[in-house]
């Protein structure tokens, strides 16, 4: 009788051990992964910030070619004109926009001038004594030292900048305003006039069509 009981207990143990061997396999054994590997799959991967604040000096073109999304304040002293230029500057994916306030004693003290570079084109427009002057030009013209393009801040001029990450990028700022008609710089050059002549005498130069504004 005692032997029967012992055999019964052994049979139960065999069944229990067999059950756990078949159905009690750990998740680690099923997946073939260690606990550390499983934790890495569950834990979110931290994203690194692609842009950090920048404070220093350099050119607008240097900032544009960084390929980062930034919004900046810019200050620049035009030694040739003796004027101080201050403004804002946005750059994203190779496009840029600057809006500047320029000291201009000959033109009621201040001139508001803006520029956009996008798709190999530059757009420049300025409010001078209540009149709007606007031109567009291929970037290749800027590389031609014989052409006076008169953008408010030249792309290769050294400026002081204070830039922060532009988190909520709005690419509409790189679209030229719809209510401004831009004269084509190449067409102006064919008439023998350069954009710089617009500032001489404060008047509208011959060949520049103001009727569209």
Supply the pLDDT for residue 42: 43
Contact 209, 131 (CB under 8 A): no
Q: Which of 52, 32, 83 is nearest to 166 (CA)?
A: 52
* Average pLDDT, integer, range 38-44: 45
Which pLDDT tens digit goes with each residue over 58-95? 999 999 999 899 999 999 988 877 788 999 999 999 99
| Token pair belonging to 102 | 């320029």
Q: Is the same domain home to 22 and 91? A: no
Q: Would residue 47 count as lying in a domain?
A: no
Which pLDDT tens digit goes with each residue over 140-163? 876 665 566 678 888 889 999 999
Which ranges of the chain does DSSP label H, i.e. alpha helix? 2-23, 27-31, 35-42, 60-65, 139-142, 185-190
**Phi (first) and psi of residue 180, to 5 degrees:** -115, 130
Q: Is the same domain home to 34 and 110? A: no
Q: Is the same domain home to 58 and 38? A: no
Q: Is 108 helix (H, G, I), strand (E, B) or coil?
A: coil
Q: Would residue 28 count as lying in a domain?
A: yes
**What is the domain extent for residue 16?**
2-42
Which pLDDT tens digit goes with each residue over 12-22? 444 444 544 54
**Phi (first) and psi of residue 80, to 5 degrees:** -65, -40
Q: Would residue 206 count as lying in a domain?
A: no
């Amino acid at each position: 009788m005692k032997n029967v009981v012992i055999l019964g207990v052994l049979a139960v143990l065999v069944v229990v051990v067999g059950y756990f061997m078949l159905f009690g396999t750990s998740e680690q054994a099923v997946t073939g992964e260690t606990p550390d590997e499983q934790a890495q799959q569950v834990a979110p991967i931290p994203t690194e910030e692609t842009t950090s604040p920048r404070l220093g000096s350099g050119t607008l073109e240097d900032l544009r070619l960084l390929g980062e999304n930034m919004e900046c304040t810019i200050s620049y002293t035009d030694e040739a004109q003796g004027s101080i230029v201050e403004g804002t500057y946005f750059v994203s994916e190779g496009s840029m926009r600057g809006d500047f306030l320029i000291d201009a004693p000959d033109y009621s003290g201040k001139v508001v001038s803006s520029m956009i570079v996008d798709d190999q084109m530059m757009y420049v427009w300025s409010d001078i004594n209540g009149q709007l002057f606007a031109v567009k030009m291929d970037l290749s013209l800027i590389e031609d030292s014989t052409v006076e393009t008169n953008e408010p801040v030249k792309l290769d001029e050294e400026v002081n900048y204070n830039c922060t990450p532009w988190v909520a990028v709005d690419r509409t700022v790189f679209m030229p305003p719809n209510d401004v008609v831009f004269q084509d710089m190449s067409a102006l050059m064919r008439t023998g006039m350069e954009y710089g002549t617009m500032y001489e005498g404060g008047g509208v130069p011959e060949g520049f069509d103001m009727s569209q504004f």
